[in-house]
Amino acid sequence: MKAISSKLPQVGTTIFTVMSALAHEHGAINLSQGFPNFPSPKVLNELVCQYMARGFNQYAPMAGVPLLRQRLASKAEALYGLAVDPDTEVAITAGATQAIFTAISAFVRPGDEVILLEPAYDSYRPSVEVNGGIAIAHDLKAPDYRPDWAAIKALITPRTRLIVINSPHNPSGTTLKAEDLQALSDITKDTDILVLSDEVYEHLVYDGKAHQSVLRFPELWQRSLAVYSFGKTFHNTGWKIGYCIAPEYLMSEFRKVHQFNVFSVNTPMQHALADYMEQADTYLSLPAFYQQKRDFFLDAISGSHLRPLPCEGTYFCTFDYSAISQEADTAFAKRMTQEYGVAAIPVSVFYSDGRDDKIIRLCFAKTEETLEQAGALLRKI
Protein backbone atom coordinates (compact mmCIF):
# COMPACT_ATOMS: atom_id res chain seq x y z
CA MET A 1 0.00 0.00 0.00
CA LYS A 2 1.31 3.46 -0.89
CA ALA A 3 2.18 5.85 1.92
CA ILE A 4 -0.55 8.39 2.61
CA SER A 5 0.46 12.04 2.58
CA SER A 6 -0.60 13.71 5.80
CA LYS A 7 -2.81 16.80 5.64
CA LEU A 8 -1.24 17.90 8.95
CA PRO A 9 2.38 16.74 8.72
CA GLN A 10 3.60 18.99 11.54
CA VAL A 11 0.97 17.86 14.04
CA GLY A 12 1.88 15.31 16.70
CA THR A 13 0.76 14.56 20.24
CA THR A 14 -0.25 17.80 21.99
CA ILE A 15 1.83 19.19 24.83
CA PHE A 16 -1.26 18.92 27.05
CA THR A 17 -1.30 15.14 26.63
CA VAL A 18 2.47 14.96 27.12
CA MET A 19 2.49 17.02 30.32
CA SER A 20 -0.54 15.31 31.83
CA ALA A 21 1.07 11.91 31.19
CA LEU A 22 4.33 13.13 32.72
CA ALA A 23 2.46 14.44 35.77
CA HIS A 24 0.78 11.05 36.18
CA GLU A 25 4.09 9.21 35.79
CA HIS A 26 5.81 11.28 38.48
CA GLY A 27 2.84 11.77 40.80
CA ALA A 28 3.03 15.52 40.22
CA ILE A 29 0.31 18.11 40.82
CA ASN A 30 -1.16 18.74 37.39
CA LEU A 31 -1.48 22.49 36.82
CA SER A 32 -0.81 22.03 33.10
CA GLN A 33 -4.05 21.05 31.38
CA GLY A 34 -6.95 23.47 31.82
CA PHE A 35 -9.58 21.64 33.82
CA PRO A 36 -10.97 22.06 37.34
CA ASN A 37 -10.34 19.39 39.98
CA PHE A 38 -13.59 20.24 41.80
CA PRO A 39 -17.04 18.98 40.82
CA SER A 40 -19.65 20.23 38.42
CA PRO A 41 -22.53 21.90 40.35
CA LYS A 42 -24.60 19.27 42.18
CA VAL A 43 -27.93 20.76 41.09
CA LEU A 44 -26.85 20.69 37.45
CA ASN A 45 -25.71 17.07 37.72
CA GLU A 46 -29.03 16.10 39.28
CA LEU A 47 -30.95 17.83 36.49
CA VAL A 48 -29.06 15.77 33.89
CA CYS A 49 -29.98 12.56 35.71
CA GLN A 50 -33.61 13.65 35.95
CA TYR A 51 -33.85 14.30 32.22
CA MET A 52 -32.19 10.97 31.44
CA ALA A 53 -34.66 9.18 33.73
CA ARG A 54 -37.57 11.00 32.06
CA GLY A 55 -36.53 9.66 28.67
CA PHE A 56 -34.83 12.68 27.07
CA ASN A 57 -32.24 10.42 25.45
CA GLN A 58 -32.82 10.70 21.70
CA TYR A 59 -31.49 13.22 19.19
CA ALA A 60 -31.89 16.86 20.07
CA PRO A 61 -32.83 19.34 17.32
CA MET A 62 -29.84 19.98 15.08
CA ALA A 63 -29.43 23.61 16.22
CA GLY A 64 -30.00 22.76 19.87
CA VAL A 65 -32.84 22.51 22.39
CA PRO A 66 -35.06 25.60 21.84
CA LEU A 67 -35.27 26.62 25.52
CA LEU A 68 -31.50 26.54 25.88
CA ARG A 69 -31.08 28.71 22.78
CA GLN A 70 -33.64 31.12 24.24
CA ARG A 71 -31.70 31.30 27.51
CA LEU A 72 -28.51 32.10 25.61
CA ALA A 73 -30.18 34.77 23.52
CA SER A 74 -31.56 36.39 26.68
CA LYS A 75 -28.10 36.26 28.27
CA ALA A 76 -26.51 37.94 25.26
CA GLU A 77 -29.05 40.75 25.39
CA ALA A 78 -28.74 41.23 29.14
CA LEU A 79 -24.92 41.27 29.15
CA TYR A 80 -24.05 42.81 25.78
CA GLY A 81 -27.16 44.69 24.67
CA LEU A 82 -27.65 42.59 21.54
CA ALA A 83 -31.01 41.20 20.47
CA VAL A 84 -30.19 37.69 19.26
CA ASP A 85 -32.73 35.51 17.45
CA PRO A 86 -32.58 32.09 19.19
CA ASP A 87 -34.11 30.37 16.16
CA THR A 88 -31.66 31.60 13.54
CA GLU A 89 -28.56 32.96 15.32
CA VAL A 90 -27.61 30.34 17.96
CA ALA A 91 -26.28 26.78 17.61
CA ILE A 92 -25.36 24.32 20.38
CA THR A 93 -22.11 22.47 19.63
CA ALA A 94 -20.07 19.53 20.92
CA GLY A 95 -17.72 21.84 22.78
CA ALA A 96 -16.13 25.12 21.76
CA THR A 97 -13.36 23.40 19.80
CA GLN A 98 -15.95 21.81 17.52
CA ALA A 99 -17.58 25.21 17.09
CA ILE A 100 -14.22 26.71 16.12
CA PHE A 101 -13.52 23.93 13.63
CA THR A 102 -17.02 24.21 12.17
CA ALA A 103 -16.77 27.98 11.74
CA ILE A 104 -13.41 27.70 9.99
CA SER A 105 -14.62 24.82 7.80
CA ALA A 106 -17.72 26.79 6.79
CA PHE A 107 -15.85 29.83 5.51
CA VAL A 108 -12.18 29.06 4.78
CA ARG A 109 -11.39 27.76 1.30
CA PRO A 110 -8.05 26.58 -0.10
CA GLY A 111 -5.70 29.54 -0.42
CA ASP A 112 -7.63 31.78 1.97
CA GLU A 113 -5.55 33.52 4.63
CA VAL A 114 -6.47 33.52 8.30
CA ILE A 115 -4.78 35.91 10.73
CA LEU A 116 -4.00 34.37 14.13
CA LEU A 117 -2.82 36.29 17.18
CA GLU A 118 -0.11 34.14 18.76
CA PRO A 119 0.36 32.69 21.32
CA ALA A 120 -2.84 30.97 20.23
CA TYR A 121 -4.97 28.03 21.32
CA ASP A 122 -3.53 25.03 19.55
CA SER A 123 -6.62 24.04 17.53
CA TYR A 124 -6.74 27.22 15.42
CA ARG A 125 -3.87 26.58 13.02
CA PRO A 126 -4.62 22.89 12.29
CA SER A 127 -8.27 23.78 11.67
CA VAL A 128 -7.19 26.37 9.11
CA GLU A 129 -4.63 24.13 7.44
CA VAL A 130 -6.79 21.01 7.16
CA ASN A 131 -9.26 23.17 5.22
CA GLY A 132 -6.55 24.37 2.86
CA GLY A 133 -6.18 27.79 4.42
CA ILE A 134 -2.96 29.65 5.15
CA ALA A 135 -2.38 30.78 8.73
CA ILE A 136 -0.71 34.19 9.10
CA ALA A 137 0.68 34.90 12.57
CA HIS A 138 0.85 38.19 14.45
CA ASP A 139 3.03 37.83 17.54
CA LEU A 140 1.78 39.10 20.89
CA LYS A 141 4.79 39.77 23.07
CA ALA A 142 5.25 39.27 26.80
CA PRO A 143 4.62 40.61 29.33
CA ASP A 144 1.42 42.42 28.28
CA TYR A 145 0.57 40.50 25.07
CA ARG A 146 -1.07 43.56 23.49
CA PRO A 147 -2.08 43.39 19.81
CA ASP A 148 -0.54 45.96 17.45
CA TRP A 149 -3.52 46.80 15.25
CA ALA A 150 -1.46 48.75 12.73
CA ALA A 151 0.76 45.69 12.27
CA ILE A 152 -2.31 43.46 11.99
CA LYS A 153 -3.81 45.75 9.38
CA ALA A 154 -0.56 45.46 7.41
CA LEU A 155 -1.02 41.67 7.30
CA ILE A 156 -4.34 41.98 5.48
CA THR A 157 -4.30 41.07 1.79
CA PRO A 158 -7.02 40.42 -0.80
CA ARG A 159 -6.85 36.76 0.30
CA THR A 160 -7.62 37.46 3.98
CA ARG A 161 -10.82 35.61 4.85
CA LEU A 162 -10.82 35.53 8.65
CA ILE A 163 -9.24 37.03 11.77
CA VAL A 164 -9.32 34.90 14.93
CA ILE A 165 -9.33 36.60 18.33
CA ASN A 166 -9.47 35.16 21.84
CA SER A 167 -10.41 37.12 24.97
CA PRO A 168 -9.94 36.44 27.81
CA HIS A 169 -6.80 35.03 26.30
CA ASN A 170 -5.39 31.54 26.65
CA PRO A 171 -2.53 31.19 27.56
CA SER A 172 -1.63 34.70 28.74
CA GLY A 173 -4.67 35.56 30.90
CA THR A 174 -4.89 39.02 29.33
CA THR A 175 -8.06 40.60 27.94
CA LEU A 176 -8.95 42.73 24.95
CA LYS A 177 -10.17 46.21 25.80
CA ALA A 178 -13.00 48.18 24.20
CA GLU A 179 -10.46 50.11 22.12
CA ASP A 180 -9.10 46.83 20.77
CA LEU A 181 -12.51 45.70 19.54
CA GLN A 182 -13.10 49.13 18.03
CA ALA A 183 -9.75 48.98 16.25
CA LEU A 184 -10.65 45.56 14.86
CA SER A 185 -14.00 46.92 13.75
CA ASP A 186 -12.27 49.82 12.00
CA ILE A 187 -9.74 47.72 10.08
CA THR A 188 -12.35 45.23 8.86
CA LYS A 189 -15.00 47.81 7.95
CA ASP A 190 -15.94 47.81 4.26
CA THR A 191 -14.17 44.45 3.72
CA ASP A 192 -15.38 40.86 3.34
CA ILE A 193 -13.23 39.73 6.26
CA LEU A 194 -14.96 37.69 8.96
CA VAL A 195 -14.04 37.51 12.65
CA LEU A 196 -14.02 34.35 14.77
CA SER A 197 -14.11 35.36 18.43
CA ASP A 198 -13.20 32.70 20.98
CA GLU A 199 -14.88 33.89 24.18
CA VAL A 200 -14.95 30.68 26.21
CA TYR A 201 -13.73 32.47 29.36
CA GLU A 202 -16.26 35.31 29.07
CA HIS A 203 -17.32 34.98 32.73
CA LEU A 204 -13.77 34.78 34.06
CA VAL A 205 -12.80 38.47 33.99
CA TYR A 206 -11.43 40.00 37.17
CA ASP A 207 -10.89 43.18 39.17
CA GLY A 208 -14.26 44.66 38.31
CA LYS A 209 -13.64 44.74 34.55
CA ALA A 210 -16.31 43.90 31.96
CA HIS A 211 -15.82 41.32 29.21
CA GLN A 212 -15.54 43.02 25.83
CA SER A 213 -17.43 40.78 23.42
CA VAL A 214 -17.81 41.24 19.66
CA LEU A 215 -21.52 41.20 20.48
CA ARG A 216 -21.14 44.69 21.99
CA PHE A 217 -19.99 46.30 18.73
CA PRO A 218 -22.74 46.57 16.07
CA GLU A 219 -20.55 46.74 12.96
CA LEU A 220 -18.23 44.03 14.24
CA TRP A 221 -21.14 41.77 15.18
CA GLN A 222 -22.32 41.78 11.58
CA ARG A 223 -19.16 39.92 10.48
CA SER A 224 -18.51 37.79 13.59
CA LEU A 225 -19.01 34.29 14.91
CA ALA A 226 -18.64 34.16 18.70
CA VAL A 227 -17.87 30.85 20.42
CA TYR A 228 -18.53 29.88 24.04
CA SER A 229 -18.13 26.89 26.38
CA PHE A 230 -20.48 25.48 29.01
CA GLY A 231 -17.64 23.25 30.21
CA LYS A 232 -15.41 26.20 31.09
CA THR A 233 -18.33 28.01 32.72
CA PHE A 234 -19.78 25.19 34.82
CA HIS A 235 -16.66 23.14 35.71
CA ASN A 236 -17.47 20.14 33.49
CA THR A 237 -15.04 20.23 30.58
CA GLY A 238 -15.64 16.54 29.91
CA TRP A 239 -19.23 17.21 28.91
CA LYS A 240 -17.96 18.87 25.71
CA ILE A 241 -20.87 21.25 25.14
CA GLY A 242 -20.47 24.75 23.75
CA TYR A 243 -22.30 27.11 21.44
CA CYS A 244 -21.91 29.66 18.69
CA ILE A 245 -23.74 32.96 18.18
CA ALA A 246 -23.62 34.64 14.77
CA PRO A 247 -25.81 36.73 12.44
CA GLU A 248 -28.32 34.66 10.50
CA TYR A 249 -26.45 34.84 7.17
CA LEU A 250 -23.34 33.39 8.84
CA MET A 251 -25.19 30.98 11.12
CA SER A 252 -27.00 29.39 8.17
CA GLU A 253 -23.62 28.45 6.67
CA PHE A 254 -22.28 27.35 10.06
CA ARG A 255 -25.24 24.99 10.52
CA LYS A 256 -24.70 23.45 7.08
CA VAL A 257 -21.31 22.15 8.26
CA HIS A 258 -22.46 21.45 11.83
CA GLN A 259 -25.26 19.12 10.71
CA PHE A 260 -22.80 16.88 8.85
CA ASN A 261 -20.12 17.13 11.51
CA VAL A 262 -21.93 16.08 14.70
CA PHE A 263 -25.55 16.87 13.72
CA SER A 264 -26.75 17.38 17.30
CA VAL A 265 -25.46 17.45 20.86
CA ASN A 266 -26.15 15.60 24.14
CA THR A 267 -29.90 15.90 24.78
CA PRO A 268 -30.34 15.51 28.57
CA MET A 269 -27.44 17.87 29.26
CA GLN A 270 -28.96 20.56 27.04
CA HIS A 271 -32.27 20.40 28.90
CA ALA A 272 -30.47 20.46 32.25
CA LEU A 273 -28.39 23.49 31.24
CA ALA A 274 -31.52 25.33 30.11
CA ASP A 275 -33.11 24.82 33.53
CA TYR A 276 -29.92 25.61 35.44
CA MET A 277 -29.34 28.87 33.56
CA GLU A 278 -32.76 30.24 34.49
CA GLN A 279 -30.96 31.80 37.46
CA ALA A 280 -28.35 34.22 36.10
CA ASP A 281 -26.28 34.00 39.27
CA THR A 282 -25.11 30.55 38.14
CA TYR A 283 -22.70 32.34 35.81
CA LEU A 284 -22.63 35.93 37.11
CA SER A 285 -21.02 34.72 40.38
CA LEU A 286 -18.03 33.23 38.56
CA PRO A 287 -15.72 36.29 38.40
CA ALA A 288 -15.60 36.54 42.19
CA PHE A 289 -15.27 32.75 42.56
CA TYR A 290 -12.25 32.48 40.27
CA GLN A 291 -10.67 35.78 41.29
CA GLN A 292 -10.49 34.41 44.82
CA LYS A 293 -8.68 31.33 43.46
CA ARG A 294 -6.29 33.49 41.43
CA ASP A 295 -5.43 35.60 44.46
CA PHE A 296 -5.09 32.55 46.73
CA PHE A 297 -2.70 30.91 44.26
CA LEU A 298 -0.58 34.04 43.81
CA ASP A 299 -0.35 34.34 47.59
CA ALA A 300 0.57 30.64 47.87
CA ILE A 301 3.39 31.08 45.36
CA SER A 302 4.61 34.37 46.85
CA GLY A 303 8.30 34.22 47.69
CA SER A 304 9.18 31.91 44.81
CA HIS A 305 11.58 32.88 42.04
CA LEU A 306 8.79 32.64 39.47
CA ARG A 307 7.66 36.14 38.44
CA PRO A 308 3.90 36.39 37.83
CA LEU A 309 2.67 38.26 34.76
CA PRO A 310 -0.66 40.12 34.78
CA CYS A 311 -3.72 37.86 34.94
CA GLU A 312 -6.91 39.71 33.95
CA GLY A 313 -9.02 36.68 33.09
CA THR A 314 -9.20 32.92 32.35
CA TYR A 315 -8.12 30.40 34.97
CA PHE A 316 -4.46 30.54 33.98
CA CYS A 317 -1.54 32.52 35.33
CA THR A 318 1.71 32.89 33.42
CA PHE A 319 5.12 33.12 35.08
CA ASP A 320 8.55 34.28 33.92
CA TYR A 321 11.16 31.79 35.15
CA SER A 322 14.22 33.55 33.69
CA ALA A 323 15.55 34.34 37.20
CA ILE A 324 15.80 30.57 37.77
CA SER A 325 17.02 29.17 34.47
CA GLN A 326 17.78 29.98 30.84
CA GLU A 327 16.89 26.51 29.61
CA ALA A 328 14.18 26.12 26.98
CA ASP A 329 10.69 26.43 28.43
CA THR A 330 9.70 22.90 27.40
CA ALA A 331 12.75 21.46 29.14
CA PHE A 332 12.11 23.61 32.21
CA ALA A 333 8.44 22.53 32.39
CA LYS A 334 9.42 18.87 32.17
CA ARG A 335 12.12 19.28 34.82
CA MET A 336 9.63 21.08 37.08
CA THR A 337 7.33 18.10 36.80
CA GLN A 338 10.03 15.50 37.38
CA GLU A 339 12.06 17.21 40.10
CA TYR A 340 9.62 19.53 41.89
CA GLY A 341 6.28 17.75 41.41
CA VAL A 342 4.26 20.43 39.61
CA ALA A 343 3.30 20.18 35.92
CA ALA A 344 3.10 23.32 33.76
CA ILE A 345 2.66 24.19 30.10
CA PRO A 346 5.52 25.96 28.25
CA VAL A 347 4.14 28.99 26.41
CA SER A 348 6.39 28.48 23.36
CA VAL A 349 4.03 25.71 22.18
CA PHE A 350 1.37 28.35 21.52
CA TYR A 351 3.63 30.06 18.92
CA SER A 352 4.00 28.50 15.47
CA ASP A 353 7.67 29.55 15.39
CA GLY A 354 8.36 28.27 18.93
CA ARG A 355 9.08 31.73 20.31
CA ASP A 356 10.53 31.16 23.79
CA ASP A 357 10.24 34.03 26.29
CA LYS A 358 11.01 31.77 29.31
CA ILE A 359 7.37 31.71 30.41
CA ILE A 360 5.19 28.88 31.69
CA ARG A 361 1.42 28.65 32.19
CA LEU A 362 -0.19 27.27 35.36
CA CYS A 363 -3.89 26.51 35.89
CA PHE A 364 -5.48 27.70 39.15
CA ALA A 365 -8.90 26.08 38.64
CA LYS A 366 -8.16 23.80 41.58
CA THR A 367 -9.13 23.38 45.20
CA GLU A 368 -7.37 25.57 47.74
CA GLU A 369 -5.70 22.48 49.17
CA THR A 370 -4.18 21.66 45.78
CA LEU A 371 -3.11 25.26 45.18
CA GLU A 372 -1.51 25.46 48.63
CA GLN A 373 0.43 22.24 48.04
CA ALA A 374 1.56 23.45 44.61
CA GLY A 375 2.64 26.79 46.03
CA ALA A 376 4.79 25.11 48.67
CA LEU A 377 6.54 23.01 45.99
CA LEU A 378 7.02 25.96 43.62
CA ARG A 379 8.64 28.07 46.33
CA LYS A 380 11.42 25.45 46.49
CA ILE A 381 12.50 25.97 42.88
Residues in the chain with pLDDT values less than 70 = 1
Rounded CA separation 306/358 (Å): 10
Q: What is the dihedral of CA 118, 119, 124, 125, to 10 degrees?
A: 70
What is the per-residue pLDDT for 13?
79
Tell me the torsion sign for CA atoms 125, 129, 132, 136.
positive
Cα separation values, 322 from 143, 162, 306, 345, 357, Å: 13, 35, 8, 15, 8
Within 8 A by CB and 6+ apart from 253, the residues are 106, 107
Given this model, what pLDDT does residue 182 score? 98
CATH class label, 15-40+284-378: alpha beta
Cα 145 from Cα 153, distance rounded (Å)? 17
C-alpha 198/C-alpha 323 separation (Å) is 33
In whole angstroms, give the CA distance from residue 242 to residue 265: 9
**Element housing 138 (H / E):** strand 134-139
Name residue 314's beta-bridge partners.
none
Cα(254)–Cα(262) distance, integer angstroms: 12
Q: Could you tell me the pTM of the whole model?
A: 0.96
The kind and range of the H/E element at 179 are helix 178-188
User: Please, what is the end-to-end C-alpha distance for the chain in angstroms?
Assistant: 52
Cβ-Cβ contacts under 8 Å for 194 (sequence gap 6 or more)? 107, 161, 162, 163, 223, 224, 225, 250
Give the pLDDT of residue 355: 95
Q: How many whole angstroms separate alpha carbon 350 and alpha carbon 335?
A: 19
Residues whose CB falls within 8 Å of the CB of residue 262, separated by 6 or more in sequence, listed in order: 93, 94, 98
3-state secondary structure at position 85: coil
Predicted local confidence at residue 1, as pLDDT:
61
CATH topology of domain 42-281: Aspartate Aminotransferase; domain 2 (3.40.640)
Rounded distance between C-alpha atoms, residue 99 and residue 93, angstroms: 6
Neighbours of 2 (CB within 10 A): 4
The single-letter DSSP state of residue 115 is: E
Domain ranges within the chain, ordered by starting residue: 15-40+284-378, 42-281
